[in-house]
Amino acid sequence: MYKKTALASAVLAAMMAQISVAQSQQQSQQQSQQQSQQEEQIEEVTVQGIRSSLTKALDIKRDNTQIIDAIVAEDIGKFPDNNVVEALQRVTGVQTTGRGGGEVTGISIRGLTDVHTTVNGRDVFTGAGRDVAIWDIPASLLSSVNVYKTRSADRTERGIAGSIDVKTNRPFMFDGEKVVLAARGIYADQPDKIDPNVSALYSNRWELENAGEIGALINIGYAETHYRDDSMTAGAVFPFFSATPASNYTPYQMIPNNSSGKPVWQAGLENGIPYSAGSTLNVDGETVDYLMMRDAVFGSVFSGFRKRPAASFSLQWAPNDDWEFLAEGFYTGYRNTQQNAMWFTNTLEHQNGNIAIPLVYEGTNVVKEHQGRGNGGFQSGDYADGKTDSYLWALGAKWTPTDKLTLNSELVLQDSEYTNNFFAMRFDRTAYGLDVDYNDRDGVPSVEFWDNPATAVDESDISAVANWNAGTVYDNGGSSTGDSAAYSLDADWQLDGSFIDSIKVGGRYQIRGAETMSRDQSAGIGGTSVNELMDLLVAAGASGDGSGIVYTATNYFDGRANIFDRFITANGYYMLQNKAAVRTVYDLEIDPVLEKSFSVDEDAAAFYVTTQFHLGDNLSGEFGVRAVDYQQDLEFWQDGVLVPGTSSAQEVLPSLVLNWDITDDVVGRVAYTETLRMPEYGSLNPHQDFQDPLTSTPYGTGGGGNPQLKPTYSKNYDMSLEWYFAEGSSLYGALFKREIDGLVINGKKTVVREGDDGVTRPYVLNAPVNAADGELSGMEVGLVYFPDNLPAVLDGLGVQASYTMLDSEQLNPEFAEDGSISGYNKSKMSGVSDSSYSLVLAYEKEGFGARLSYVWREKFYQGNEASIFANPIQFWSRPEQDLSFQLSYDITDELAITFDGTNLLDDVYQNYYGEGNQNLFNFGNGIYSKTYAVGVRYSF
């Protein structure tokens, strides 16, 4: 993991030698050509306003050999959204999802979610992962973002969906001194809080006597976010006896294993077990009909507070026309505390049924609503905190010894560490009875608890402390660290040939280390009420009178469901503050020690060659080949047992792009490229963990990794046509296809073993396998248009619109109980909406700017549910939409104010089991915050 030290020393010595050579040449060719180049740079990146930013994005698209799209800051430090992911949803072919925690975090390019992110062309990562969370990079530090849909061989090979390159500011981008100060106050309605988002930039450049020119820039940002997400979920489905069960069983009892111990029904089928009316199962030789019923309903109030500090600096020095040196640093931080207040109720008793009046959907055996008695339940107060610090340092040099040859070298060092703690405590009880409707309001369930007429206790009130007993405590945490050293060297040779315009060759070598550590302990105390727990905590040294252990969630689900409006859970914040007392009461280790989970040392080498060529005046292109080699040494631990291993991957990846300037305004492109996705380090873990069922379900669960995992490969075909019909306006479209081999999915088999509770039962073991192939094809069209000669009142009005249509297919194996493949099912690819579009109306005139943005995406397949249920296991999301706006006004040339809002439609985000089953097998429902922000920006 630390082999990088010798490499770093050697490369730094080489860099110092380069600097020495540069100083000996610094008297040559000083002023005129350098000033011309700087003016050209300034013209290229300095943008102001909505229309200018869209024009610059089109210029990037038009001038690039590859098929790309871009977003550009409207002004220095000013992106048009709360975060970069939200801004990217207006890029043609980009879809976003995963709204929650106060932001949107999920992103796909043309339907695929394996997106590789770089910063200024450099690989970046967080902790022990392979990639960086792009939402951790503040928008205030960015100048532009390029979305690569095809890639040259000189770019990193990873990311079968595409690549996103985040560009930060550098001092040579500005003409002299530049200062920008910006602040916003963002209000979120769910937590009812106002949070700050501030940034500052200072940049300057100076002429040095007999030493060329030097520039320095520092950019800092800081943001806080309070968030709250409410959810409500109808649980998964099991088969239950009807009112006429098999012999020796109870009406409405969950169907158990046969007397031999073998399961009566197979869990985890892609389409579930049959759910038409009259469907039957064989129980110990008897053919009986059955009902498909959910055994639970649950929900949560997920709230928290997040801080994101960030900074970048850049130092550029051009001692003469031949040399330029760059030193850069980039830091992102993450601080998060969160409380997940969860309620859970069994809606029936597994072994004795205890339900009445089951109502089924017409023509099915699926129960919609019923009454229940003796329903067990729990409330869980889950607290977690997380902290990330990621650093990147880069030292580079560019040498142009002749007009035809340019050499670039760069050393990049990275360190990233993520640490987390988790505390959870359950409160338990058995309810007297309830009414439940699993689909009361278009996918939203309802629950009403009953009072026991034989007691004076208000049992229907789940916010009453007296109704609850203290349950199990879960106490765990961990750390995830990563470091790397990478050196790259590139040579670009311009030619005057009749066919070859340039040849570029280069290589990159990276030494990467990753390590995770964890701790885990849990315990329960039986027969103890929450009131008694308070006294025990105080006796163990907890603060106050112990009542702080109770957290009350109010205004639950914003009144959008037929359900209680408040409930209590354990208070995670209080548990952390009094962790010694909690651990003492539950007889846990007072100072638990982290133990190593896995460590990886990886050597990655890449070599590429590309050539730019032309075939006549109007046809040009680029051909390249990239060869990659990954070598990994792996160590995994479980319960102190070490399992070492190795893994490797080698591949040669060609790329070809042809560009045809059909007219001065119309450009056509055709491309063939190959990309790959490397397995995540943790997925290579050979260890297996098994968990006993939490209820009386007949299956336990198991999970593990697979050291035999190989990369996923994609062959990519693209064709585009772009018409630049006016300044700052364009109509463009593309056709594309992705052929993907070796998709990683969950393989599963049934293992019969004795559980920790001493019961022998079947366990469904899941582990990742390269067992599926997929194909995705589609088309996309986009338009940016600011018409001229409009009436005065409409002058400055423009539109940005895009539409994407996708067709995907994934061949998924069906696994038999022994883990063998018994057949195949076709499905959509995960995360792919068949269609999506965005529409932006923009207006800009005399210092006033406005943007109204609407984004919509069709239903999409999310992935598979756990493999122990009887319902279809595919997760689907209902269509999603988003409406946002931004307003800005330049009070003076230096001072501007802004106002914006996001998630204005305030929808309920919903998913369900199985395509076409949004009502029959509805699942989750979530509501998220609308935000409104007021900002001020001062620059000079």
Per residue in 400-443, pLDDT (tens digit) is 999 999 999 999 999 999 999 999 999 999 999 999 999 999 99
Decide: 597 and 516 in contact? Cβ < 8 Å.
Answer: yes
Sequence-ordered strand ranges (E) for 786-834 = 797-815, 821-827
Over residues 70-88, mean pLDDT: 72
Per residue in 489-547, pLDDT (tens digit) is 999 999 987 899 999 999 999 999 999 999 999 999 988 999 999 999 999 999 999 99
CA distance 95 to 778: 14
Tell how far CA 877 is from the center of its chain.
16
Residue 844, token pair as written in the block: 């800009």
CA distance 651 to 646: 17
CA distance 445 to 235: 10
CA distance 885 to 882: 10
pLDDT of 849 > 60? The answer is yes
Q: Which of 628, 824, 795 is nearest to 151 (CA)?
A: 628
Q: What percent of the chain has pLDDT over 90?
A: 67
Over residues 436-457, mean pLDDT: 91
DSSP 249: -
Task: Please report the pLDDT score of residue 848 as a whole number.
Answer: 92
Q: Could you tell me the sign of the dihedral formed by the alpha carbons of 603, 147, 781, 611, in that order? A: negative
Task: Please report the pLDDT score of residue 353 as a whole number.
Answer: 66
Task: Please report the pLDDT score of residue 80 as a whole number.
Answer: 59
Decide: 351 and 254 in contact? Cβ < 8 Å.
Answer: yes
Beta-sheet pairing, 115-119 with 94-100: unpaired
Residues β-bridged to residue 212: 208
CA distance 99 to 97: 6
pLDDT of 756 > 90? The answer is no
Please report which confidence band the pLDDT of residue 350 belongs to, taking 50, 70 and 90 as the band edges.
Answer: low
**Contacts of 789 by beta carbon, 8 Å cutoff, 6+ apart:** none
Over residues 707-716, mean pLDDT: 92
Q: What is the mean pLDDT of the chain?
A: 89
Task: Please report the pLDDT score of residue 928 as a whole number.
Answer: 94
Task: Please report the pLDDT score of residue 425 as a whole number.
Answer: 96
Residues β-bridged to residue 629: 605, 650
Sequence-ordered strand ranges (E) for 547-618 = 550-553, 567-570, 595-614
Q: Which of 518, 537, 346, 348 is nearest to 425 (CA)?
A: 537
CA distance 140 to 79: 7
pLDDT of 639 > 50? The answer is yes
pLDDT of 357 > 70? The answer is yes
Please report which confidence band the pLDDT of residue 707 belongs to, taking 50, 70 and 90 as the band edges.
Answer: confident
Per residue in 192-220, pLDDT (tens digit) is 999 999 999 999 999 999 999 999 999 99
One-character DSSP codes across 329-357: EEEEEEEEEEEEEEEEEESSBTTTB-EEE
Per residue in 542-566, pLDDT (tens digit) is 999 999 999 999 999 999 999 999 9
Per residue in 563-576, pLDDT (tens digit) is 999 999 999 999 98
One-character DSSP codes across 186-199: EEETTTTEEEEEEE
pLDDT of 289 > 90? The answer is yes
Residue 81 phi, psi (nearest 5): -140, 170
Task: Please report the pLDDT score of residue 78 as a whole number.
Answer: 62
Please report which confidence band the pLDDT of residue 24 belongs to, taking 50, 70 and 90 as the band edges.
Answer: very low
Per residue in 658-690, pLDDT (tens digit) is 999 999 999 999 999 999 999 988 888 888 888
Phi-psi group of 200: left, alpha or beta (phi > 0 → left; psi -120 to 50 → alpha; rest → beta): beta
Task: Please report the pLDDT score of residue 28 as a whole number.
Answer: 39
Q: What percent of the chain has pLDDT over 70?
A: 93
Task: Please report the pLDDT score of residue 1 as a whole number.
Answer: 45
Considering only 125-139, 277-291, 303-317, 845-859, which range has the smallest mean pLDDT?
125-139
Task: Please report the pLDDT score of residue 649 as a whole number.
Answer: 92
Q: Which of 753, 779, 774, 757 is nearest to 765 (CA)?
A: 753
Over residues 371-398, mean pLDDT: 95
Amino acid, res. 52: S
Beta-sheet pairing, 874-877 with 908-913: antiparallel
Beta-sheet pairing, 688-691 with 142-148: unpaired
Between 698 and 241, the higher pLDDT residue: 241
Beta-sheet pairing, 860-864 with 874-877: antiparallel
Burial class (CB in 10 A: 0-12, 13-18, 19+), 556: buried
- CA dist list (Å): 75 to 46, 78, 277: 7, 5, 62
pLDDT of 14 > 60? The answer is no
pLDDT of 10 > 50? The answer is no
- H/E stretch holding 44 reads helix 32-45
